[in-house]
Amino acid sequence: MTDPIRYFVGVDGGGTSCRARITDSNDRVLGEAKTGSANIMLGANLAMASIIDAIATAAATAGLGKDSYASMSVGLALAGAEQQSAWYEFMAQPHPFAAVTLNTDAYGACLGAWGGEDGAILIAGTGSCGILLKDNEQHVVGGREFPISDQGGGAVMGLRLIQQALLAHDGLRPITPLAEHVINHFNQDIDSIVSWSKTARPCDYGQFSPAIFSHAYQGDALGIELLNQTAADIEMWMKALINRGAEQICLMGSIAERITPWLIPPLQQRITAPQGDAMDGALAMARANHNLYPL
């Protein structure tokens, strides 16, 4: 006989971090925590370990132990879940919880942003993805993972920055303070950049996005060029969602929340504030079956 569900857990996992929020049956928040990456494309077992770590840490803040896991229904809004084989590989793993529901981080964010109603969001953090929920259908643009997709996200920004900094080093474009920042980050050792790139993850590239913003606001030509390119990417995804029927769009994520001033005015007018976040959506998933694929 299985334990009755007493707790609902929402988990928002991406390429940079994994956040967990535990509530009781009355929607009272009991605990929250944040740990490492939970992108299932980077490894199902690594993602599960990060998720369990986040839930354990959140449970500890709520005064709950491992014996409570069997009473938890967990909603997972995870990056990489759109990849079908990765979804099934992850869901085939054993876990200690009463129930687990898995969908994409974009789906969870959209549920949270629109209070469970129809609506559209564009996430641009480490990666990027647009989603429109309308008439019981999901319309998704982008989100096919770095480096082949995720335009408008921090990882692509960082990759472009590295490329341009190397061109500047080779004398093919002017060296700006932003380019110098990158070269100095690697102690002016170009070979170390090449070695680093062989194992660098999306979050490793994404770490350079704050420097792009700060240098652009100081008038750095390379920073301005990169932000204009990122804005064009965001505009591309927004137009795609509008063409599919979106009227207003919530911009979510560390890049999206800072790019608004760089967007063209007609698209700025399409932006609206989210009602909640991806963990709110993940909690809604924990209370019902929102699995992306059939079990």
Which residue ranges form the domains of the chain, and what is each CATH number? 7-115+276-286 (3.30.420.40), 154-268 (3.30.420.40)
d(CA 214, CA 210): 6
d(CA 105, CA 78): 4
pTM: 0.81
Position 237 confidence tier, pLDDT thresholds 50, 70, 90: very high
What's the Rg (C-alpha) of the chain? 20
User: 86-142 pLDDT, tens per residue?
Assistant: 999 999 999 999 999 999 988 999 999 999 899 999 999 989 999 999 998 889 999
Q: How many CB atoms lie within 10 A of CB 249?
A: 23
User: Is it the case that residue 52 has pLDDT exceeding 50?
Assistant: yes
User: Is it the case that residue 248 has pLDDT exceeding 80?
Assistant: yes
Burial class (CB in 10 A: 0-12, 13-18, 19+), 291: middle
- CB of 274 closer than 8 Å to CB of 112: yes
For residues 275-295, average pLDDT: 91
Query: At 150, phi and psi to the nearest 5?
Result: 65, 25
Greatest CA separation found in the chain?
70
d(CA 184, CA 175): 12
167: which 2 tokens? 């061109």
Which of 2-16, 24-38, 82-96, 170-184 has maximum average pLDDT? 170-184
Q: What is the mean pLDDT of the chain?
A: 94
- CB of 127 closer than 8 Å to CB of 79: yes
Quote the pLDDT of residue 152.
98
Kindly give, in sequence order, each residue whose CB lies less than 8 Å from that of residue 103, ignoring residues fewer than 6 positions away.
76, 77, 78, 81, 285, 290, 291, 292
